Amino acid sequence: MQINSLNPEQLRKRQTELAARYEAVKAASLSLDLTRGKPAPAQLDLANAIDGILDGFYLLQDGTDVRNYGGILGIPEARQLGGQFLNIDPGLVLVGGNSSLALMYQYVAHMLPTWQRQTDTVRFLCPVPGYDRHFAICEAFGIEMINVPFVDGGPDMDQIESLVRDDPGIKGIWCVPMYSNPTGHTYSDDTVARFAKLAGRAGPDFRIMWDNAYAVHHLYDQPDRLANLMALATEAANEDSVVLFASTSKVTFAGAGIAFLGASGRNLAAFEKFLVPQVIGFDKVNQLRHVRFLTDVDAHMKLHADIIRPKFELVEKKLSSALADKGIARWSRPNGGYFVSLDTSAPIADRVVALASAVGVKLTPAGATFPYGKDPDNSNIRIAPTFPGMTDLDRALDVLVLCIELVAVSRALRE
């Protein structure tokens, strides 16, 4: 029954029932964590064979010894793997350390002097809800952030095109184009095509930071499809505007994977020059380990999907059964990635997160999915179901839906 259709007496009765359940949960002394999208131990176990896979053989096909110095762009075989992840020519790929986020940070640092020569205040567009660590990079460099909402096909391209046309201080945009963090969007063909032409409106130093973190993280056998931005941008002579990122962080070992950056030949050469004073080369031994282990990425990722699919289905089951008919929340139903995005109908996300935390269920802080930690609607809650076991996830979701309804009913009573 819709909460807003209940009369005061019905609301008070429901509030009493929910408050009693909340007190019972508090007595259970739970300690559950849904804050970050980490692989579960069973997923990490899928890559255990990567240890020892080299078996003392460290030579590449051309005779290069990966234990030695050199090769900032990465070994050819790993660049080939990166080309597969990014769907571009391997010659346009740099293979880094275990963190694509570090490559993003370094790329922004590389471009920042150019941007600062062109404008007093560098600004980035940020589709929201979005990835808090993207926003943290901007904050670290003093880059002003501008929110852009999502529509059905991805970020609102009408707004993006208007903003970059009218404001020369806008120098970039963050994108998670497939199974977006946290909304689960995969950008439509039309959206990608419009991104490919964006540099024509924004200028030659505008950068689309295309963080395709979930490119291979499908939940079902018929996955979403993402158009090839680099190919389309190249057709439009805008290839310099595109910088692609991905990694194996949720494919092999989250803390010991390899990361990829893809860019035009011109951009890649400039970025390599920027890196030369900093590094002699990234971990080529680990690159070779990954190449020899990931001989069939699709088959490996289906094993991951088998582990986490039931968790996403449990989220959908719990949210639907507890909230679908109450008119107090809506949520995403992604076909891949690591998150479910829930929006409360009223501005109560901070209170829901606080109530859940008070009984031992940690959620991503309200506002974390927006620049500066400020959700203007105070409604978005990011659910990260991958790490906990099914029993713990079940209990945590029971607490979440309880807190959402309790706060919504209490608010309705006050109003």
Residues 310 and 290 in one domain: no
pLDDT per position as a tens digit, 320-335 = 999 999 999 999 999 9
Phi-psi domain of 184 (left: phi exceeds 0; alpha: psi -120 through 50; beta: other): left
- Are both 261 and 325 inside the same structural domain? no
Position 187 pLDDT exceeds 80:
yes
Residue 384: the pLDDT is 97
Rounded mean pLDDT, 7-19: 95
Last residue of a domain, one of 237, 260, 295: 295
The confidence band for 36, taking pLDDT boundaries of 50, 70 and 90, is: confident
**Both 281 and 356 in a single domain?**
no
Q: Identify whether residues 16 and 104 lie together within a single domain.
A: no
| Residue 168, both tokens | 């020369």
Residues 290, 375, single domain; the answer is no
Range of the domain at 358: 3-43+299-414
Residue burial 228-260, b: 16+ Cβ < 10 Å; e: rest = ebbbbbbebebbbbbbbbbbbbbbbbbebbbbb
Would you say residue 113 has pLDDT above 80?
yes
How many structural domains is the chain composed of?
2
Q: Are both 284 and 339 inside the same structural domain? A: no
Global pTM value = 0.96
Question: Residue 343's pLDDT band (boundaries 50, 70, 90)?
Answer: very high
Residue 112 inside a domain? The answer is yes
Please classify residue 144 by burial: count the beta carbons closer than 10 Å to its beta carbon, then call 0-12 exposed, 13-18 middle and 19+ buried: middle
What the block records as the tokens of 204 is 């030659």
Instruction: Decide if 255 is inside a domain.
Output: yes
CA angle 136, 199, 125 (to 5 degrees): 25
Q: Are residues 15 and 113 in the same domain?
A: no
Query: Where among 226, 260, 295 does a domain terminate?
Result: 295
Q: Is 344 in the same domain as 208?
A: no
Indicate if the pLDDT at residue 61 is higher than 90: no
Distance separating alpha carbons of residues 229 and 196, to the nearest angstrom: 6
Both 193 and 326 in one domain: the answer is no
pLDDT for res 140? 98
Looking at 295, 330, 345, the residue that finishes a domain is 295
The pLDDT, as a whole number, for residue 368 is: 97
User: Considering only CA atoms, which of 298, 300, 346, 337 is closest in space to residue 315?
Assistant: 337
For residues 82-86, give the mean pLDDT. 98
Residue 56 belongs to a domain: no
Give the domain CATH number at 180.
3.40.640.10
Average pLDDT for 161-184: 97
Q: Tell me if 172 is assigned to some domain.
A: yes
Residue 143 lies in a domain: yes
Structure tokens at 221: 């056998």
pLDDT tens for each residue of 37-55: 999 999 999 999 999 999 9
pLDDT at residue 320 in the model: 98
pLDDT of residue 1 exceeding 80: no
Mean pLDDT of 363-389: 97
* 346 has a pLDDT exceeding 90: yes
Question: Whose CA is closest to 240, among 114, 134, 101, 79?
Answer: 114
Average pLDDT over every residue of 263-287: 97
Averaged pLDDT of the chain: 97
Residue 283 has pLDDT above 90, yes or no: yes
Percent of the chain with pLDDT over 90: 97
65 found inside a domain: no
Same structural domain for residues 30 and 115? no
The answer to whether the CB of 241 falls within 8 A of the CB of 275 is no
Residues 328 and 273 in one domain: no
Q: How far is CA 139 from the centre of its chain?
A: 18
CATH number reported for the structural domain that contains residue 408 in this entry: 3.90.1150.10
> Is residue 310, in this structure, part of any structural domain at all?
yes
Residue 382 reports pLDDT greater than 90: yes
Query: 49: buried, middle or exposed (CB in 10 Å: 19+, 13-18, 0-12)?
Result: exposed
* Residue 66 maps to a domain: no
pLDDT in tens, 171-181: 999 999 999 99
The answer on 267 and 143 residing in a single domain is: yes
**pLDDT category, 200, cuts 50, 70, 90?**
confident
